[in-house]
Amino acid sequence: MKYAFSQLAFGIGANALIARNAPQCVQLKASGGASGVLGQLDDGQNRIGGGHPTGCYCLGDGGFTDSNGRGCILTPPTTQFQCDVGASPTTGFTIGSDGSVTYNGNGKFYACPVNDNNEYNVYTVPAPGQDKCVEITLSSAGSCGSSPAPPPPPPPPPPAQPSKAPGPPKPAPSCPADLNGNYQFPHLIIPIHSDSPTTAYGTSYFGTVSSTTCSLFNFDIPASYAGQTCTLVFLFPEQKDLQTSSYTVSGTGKLVFSQLGSPATQATTWDSAPAKASELGSWSVAPGNSYAVVSGSCAAGQTVAYEVCSEGGFALNYFQDYNPSPIGLYVRQC
């Protein structure tokens, strides 16, 4: 079984204050169209306004980690700046000698409202579909705390046990059907349509299935996953639990999952879709549930692809998003 996870790269400016061995830890403040010191929600989202507890961000090797040890990332595809458990920090951030924060040399950020109470999320580009985003800058608001402590050394191995006769083979272990650990977001989603079999629709941010439509998902599995277990999971929360996504669903039937023999590309059509390497099964899905589709050894350093179709008249269209509550197809590592 193959799986994927990619890291977003960041550059480091020559005039930046960078601590590779002893990360500098600061509070961050926004100025411009929205202003205030960044606070954090319990789930690691960074907010301007709202009176949330002040965040503390430690910059090391071009990436931020918060005081809870969560890696701070730019969530694809919206580029929201938030800190997630198990995530590798997005790199490319610097703090200049004047305290200003830049990303890949650019000091321009955007604040987009999440409600009518002057609370804003932070992005590197305006959030799609929002017309009230304002331009801001970020800078240090002073030192805070210290970088998270390194994990303790592993416990010593248990005493050797007498050898036993081999038992029957066991099924592959499965990772939890959640994002509370290392996971991968699809790096390419391609819809294909049977009623337009030679049309390439290119990149999409949505997972779409119907009687005439399937969606293909590419995952780039990091080399660091070697020797680990990976599980393909499908998360389908209730509509009321979504903050930055939504979906439409109709009909009855099942989602049908397959692993493809090779990755999809932006030019993939219904007629040119890669052949199926294996059928993974079909599930009757309902809002408020999570599904572990298949588990196996992580295909470290490889790109793998999956196809999701429907049967029985079931139709679903959703915006793939891992902001609370996460929705869509992911690869979970454990």
Q: What is the pLDDT of residues 69-112, one digit of tens each?
A: 888 999 877 899 999 877 888 999 999 888 899 999 999 999 99
Residue 267, domain member (yes or no)? yes
Question: Nearest to residue 220, comparing CAs of 4, 41, 16?
Answer: 4
pTM for this one?
Answer: 0.54
CATH code at position 202: 2.60.120
For the stretch 151-199, pLDDT in tens is 445 555 555 554 444 444 445 578 999 989 899 999 999 999 999 999 9
* pLDDT band, residue 12 (cuts 50/70/90): very low
Q: What is the pLDDT of residue 23?
A: 67
The residue behind tokens 């979906």 is 247
Whether residues 124 and 245 fall in one domain: no
pLDDT tens for residues 247-275? 999 999 999 999 999 999 999 999 999 99
Say yes or no: 105 and 190 in one domain.
no
Question: For residue 274, what are the domain limits?
Answer: 183-333
Per-residue pLDDT, 160: 54
Contact by Cβ (8 Å): 89, 116? no
Residues 139, 28 within the same domain: yes
pLDDT at 20: 37
What's the CA gap between 196 and 175, in Å, rounded?
37
100 located within any domain? yes
Domain boundary among 87, 117, 143: 143
Is 290 a member of any domain? yes
Tell me what pLDDT residue 199 has: 94
How far apart, in whole angstroms, are the C-alpha atoms of residue 297 and residue 299?
Answer: 6
187 with 139, same domain: the answer is no
Token pair listed for 167:
């038992």
Instruction: Please indicate, yes or no, if residue 123 is contained in any of the structural domains.
Output: yes
Total structural domains in the chain? Answer: 2
Say if residue 126 is in the same domain as residue 227.
Answer: no
Same domain for 114 and 51: yes
Q: How far is residue 222's CA from residue 303's CA, in Å, rounded to a whole number?
A: 9
